[in-house]
C-alpha cells in the first residue's frame, strides 16, 4: 500500500466534511440551488477529479469545473425563469469555489483547504451583520478604509528596502511597514468604536480608546469632565483602562518586532500592566456608573497622521542611536522620556528592534519602555490638569501616581 492510498480516504473525508458544513449553512438560508446534500457532492466531485487527474490527466479537473459551472448556470437560469426576482449569485459562486476547494485538498494543501472552507462558511453565515455594517458606513468610514489601503498596499510595496542615513537606522520599507502595523491597531479600535459607539460601557470604552489613542482619549474625557464634573469617577476609569491598553499594545509590538526578546521583557512589563489593572479594578468599584457615551473618534488612517508617525519614528530611531553613541544608557533614557511624552509606539518599536539586533541589552530596552510609559503618564496628567475638572484632576493624580510609583519600584528592584 502506497502513501497515496493511505491519504486518499483522508482527503475524501475532509472533502465530505467541508461539503456538509457549507451545505448546512446554505440549507438554513433556504437556498433553492444547493443545500445539505448537493454541496457535499460538489466538494467530493472536486476531490475525486483531482485524485483521478493525479493518476491520468490534469485536464480532468478542468472538465469537472466546467461541468459544475454548467450545472450552476442552468439551475440559476431555472430559478430566474420561475419568477425569483432577487436571484443573487452567492450560492452559485460558493458552489464553484467549493469544487476548487475539493480539488485543492489533493493537489495543494489540506490546511489551506480547511482555511478557505472555514472562511466561506463564516462569510455566508454573516450575511446579515455584514450588510448592516456596510449600510451603516458613511463616507468618513469608507475614506478610512481607502486611506489604509493607500498606506499599506500602494505606498509600502514601492519603498526601497535598504539602510540609509546616519548609523544606517533608516530603512524606508521597514519604517513604513511599522507605520502600517500601528495604524492597523488603531484602525481596529476605530472599527470597534463604529460598531458599539454610544453603547460602549466604561470598560469597553477604555479598551477602544486605548486602541485608537490613549492620549487622545485622556484629552477628550478631560474636556468632557470639565463641563460635567459628575463624570469624573467614570472618566478616570476610562482613562486608566486606555492607559492599560497602551501597555498591552507595547507587548504586542515587542512580540511582532522582536519576538526573541519577548520572554525577557514580558515579565517586568507584565507586572507593570498587572499593577495598572489592579488600579483600574479599584476605580471600577469606586465608580457608580457603567455606561459612557464615547466621544467622536478621529480616523486613525489619515494620511497626514501616518506621515507624522513615520517621521516621528524615524526621528526616534536616529535619536536613540545618537544618544547611545554619545551618552550611553543615560542618553537613551532621555530620548525615552521625550518620545514617551506623547507616543509610546515609536520608542517601543525602536528599542525593541535594537535589542533584537544586539545593539542594546534587553534590560536597557525594557527600562527605556518603562521610562517612556512613566513619561506618558506624566504628560496625560498634565493634560488633565489643564483641561479637566478638579474632581478628575485629583483622581487621575492618585491613579497615575500609583502607576508611576509601581514603574519606579520595578526599575529599582527588578533583577538585572
pLDDT grade for 294, boundaries at 50, 70 and 90 = low
Give the phi and the psi of residue 287 in degrees, each rounded to 5: -90, 145
286 lies in the same domain as 372: yes
The grid coordinates listed for 291 are 455606561
Q: Residue 296: count other Cβ atoms within 10 Å of its Cβ.
A: 8
Residues 217 and 105 in one domain: no
In sequence order, the 6+-apart residues with CB closer than 8 A to the CB of 258 are 352, 353, 355, 356
Domain count, the chain: 2
Of 132, 151, 171, the residue at which a domain comes to its end is 132
Cα distance between residue 140 and residue 95, in whole Å: 35
Q: Are 302 and 336 in contact (CB under 8 A)?
A: no
Q: Which of 132, 147, 166 is the last residue of a domain?
A: 132
Highest-scoring range by mean pLDDT, 97-106, 281-290, 318-327: 97-106
Distance CA 174, CA 178 (A): 6
Same domain, 51 and 68: yes
233 with 369, same domain?
A: yes
Same domain? For 242 and 382 the reply is: yes
Identify which of 366, 291, 377, 385 has the alpha carbon closest to the alpha carbon of residue 342.
377
Note the pLDDT tens digit of each residue in 261-276: 888 888 899 999 999 9
Which 3 state secondary structure label does DSSP give 170?
strand
The yes-or-no verdict on residue 114 having pLDDT over 80 is yes
Neighbouring CB atoms inside 10 A of 256's CB total: 14
Terminal CA-CA length for the chain:
59
Instruction: Select the more confidently predicted residue: 327 or 311.
Output: 311
Specify burial of residue 385 (Cβ count, 10 A radius: 0-12, 13-18, 19+): middle
Of 230, 250, 233, the closest CA to residue 344 belongs to: 250
From 112, 132, 152, give the residue that closes a domain: 132
The Cα–Cα gap between 86 and 30 comes to: 14
Which residues lie below 8 Å from residue 159, measured CB to CB, with a gap of 6+?
A: 172, 173, 176
DSSP-derived letter for residue 360 is S
Same domain, 114 and 176: no
Instruction: Name the nearest CA neighbour of 113 among 16, 190, 235.
Output: 16
Q: Quick one: pLDDT at residue 6?
A: 46
Give the mean model confidence (pLDDT) for residues 195-207. 66
Structural domain of 185: 137-413
318/115 Cα distance (integer angstroms):
42
Band (88; pLDDT cuts 50, 70, 90): low
DSSP secondary structure, 177-222, as one string: HHHHHHHHHHHHHHHHHHHHGGG-BHHHHHHHHHHH-HHHHHHHHH
Contact, 246 vs 182, CB < 8 A?
no
* Same structural domain, 98 and 143: no
Q: Do residues 61 and 151 both lie within one domain?
A: no
Same domain, 45 and 152: no
pLDDT tens digits for range 37-73: 888 888 888 888 888 887 777 788 888 878 888 877 7
The neighbour count for residue 86, using CB atoms within 10 Å, is 5
Is the domain of 297 the same as that of 328? yes
Q: Are 19 and 43 in contact (CB under 8 A)?
A: yes
The cell numbers describing 263, all together, are: 520572554
| pLDDT of residue 20 exceeding 70 | yes
Distance CA 74, CA 76 (A): 5
pLDDT tens digits along 329-346: 777 788 888 888 877 888
pLDDT of 260 higher than 50:
yes
146 and 243 co-located in one domain: yes
58 and 147, same domain (yes or no): no
Residue 356 has pLDDT above 70, yes or no: yes
Residues 91/34, Cβ–Cβ less than 8 Å: yes
Amino acid at each position: 500500500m502506497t502513501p497515496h492510498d493511505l491519504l486518499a480516504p483522508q482527503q475524501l473525508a475532509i472533502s465530505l466534511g467541508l461539503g456538509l458544513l457549507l451545505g448546512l449553512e446554505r440549507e438554513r438560508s433556504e437556498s433553492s440551488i444547493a443545500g445539505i446534500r448537493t454541496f457535499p457532492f460538489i466538494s467530493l466531485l472536486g476531490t475525486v477529479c483531482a485524485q483521478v487527474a493525479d493518476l491520468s490527466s490534469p485536464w480532468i479537473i478542468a472538465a469537472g469545473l466546467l461541468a459544475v459551472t454548467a450545472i450552476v448556470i442552468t439551475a440559476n437560469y431555472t430559478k430566474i425563469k420561475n419568477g425569483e426576482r432577487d436571484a443573487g449569485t452567492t450560492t452559485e459562486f460558493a458552489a464553484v469555489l467549493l469544487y476548487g476547494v475539493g480539488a485543492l485538498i489533493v493537489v495543494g494543501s489540506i490546511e489551506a483547504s480547511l482555511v478557505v472552507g472555514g472562511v466561506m462558511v463564516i462569510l455566508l453565515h454573516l450575511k446579515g451583520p455584514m450588510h448592516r455594517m456596510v449600510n451603516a458606513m458613511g463616507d468618513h468610514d469608507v475614506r478610512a478604509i481607502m486611506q489604509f489601503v493607500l498606506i499599506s498596499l500602494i505606498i509600502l510595496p514601492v519603498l526601497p528596502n535598504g539602510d540609509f542615513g546616519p548609523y544606517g537606522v533608516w530603512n524606508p520599507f521597514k519604517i513604513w511597514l511599522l507605520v502600517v502595523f500601528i495604524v492597523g491597531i488603531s484602525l481596529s479600535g476605530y472599527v470597534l468604536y463604529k460598531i458599539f459607539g454610544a453603547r460602549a460601557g466604561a470598560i469597553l470604552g477604555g479598551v477602544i480608546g486605548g486602541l485608537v489613542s490613549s492620549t487622545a482619549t485622556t484629552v477628550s474625557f478631560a474636556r468632557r469632565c470639565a463641563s460635567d464634573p459628575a463624570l469624573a469617577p467614570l472618566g478616570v476609569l476610562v482613562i486608566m483602562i486606555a492607559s492599560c491598553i497602551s501597555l498591552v499594545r507595547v507587548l504586542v509590538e515587542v512580540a511582532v518586532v522582536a519576538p526573541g526578546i519577548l520572554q525577557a521583557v514580558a515579565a517586568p512589563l507584565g507586572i507593570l500592566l498587572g499593577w495598572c489593572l489592579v488600579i483600574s479594578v479599584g476605580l471600577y468599584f469606586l465608580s457608580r456608573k457603567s455606561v459612557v457615551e464615547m466621544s467622536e473618534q478621529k480616523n486613525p488612517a489619515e494620511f497626514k497622521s501616518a506621515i507624522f508617525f513615520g517621521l516621528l519614528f524615524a526621528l526616534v530611531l536616529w535619536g536613540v542611536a545618537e544618544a547611545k553613541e554619545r551618552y550611553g544608557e543615560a542618553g537613551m533614557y532621555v530620548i525615552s522620556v521625550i518620545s514617551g511624552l506623547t507616543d509610546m509606539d515609536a520608542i517601543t518599536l525602536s528599542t525593541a528592534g535594537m535589542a533584537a539586533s544586539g545593539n542594546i541589552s534587553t534590560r536597557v530596552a525594557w527600562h527605556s519602555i518603562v521610562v517612556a510609559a512613566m513619561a506618558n503618564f506624566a504628560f496625560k496628567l498634565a493634560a488633565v490638569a489643564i483641561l479637566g475638572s478638579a474632581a478628575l484632576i485629583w483622581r487621575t493624580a492618585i491613579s497615575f501616581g500609583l502607576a508611576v510609583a509601581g514603574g519606579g519600584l520595578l526599575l529599582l528592584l527588578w533583577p538585572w
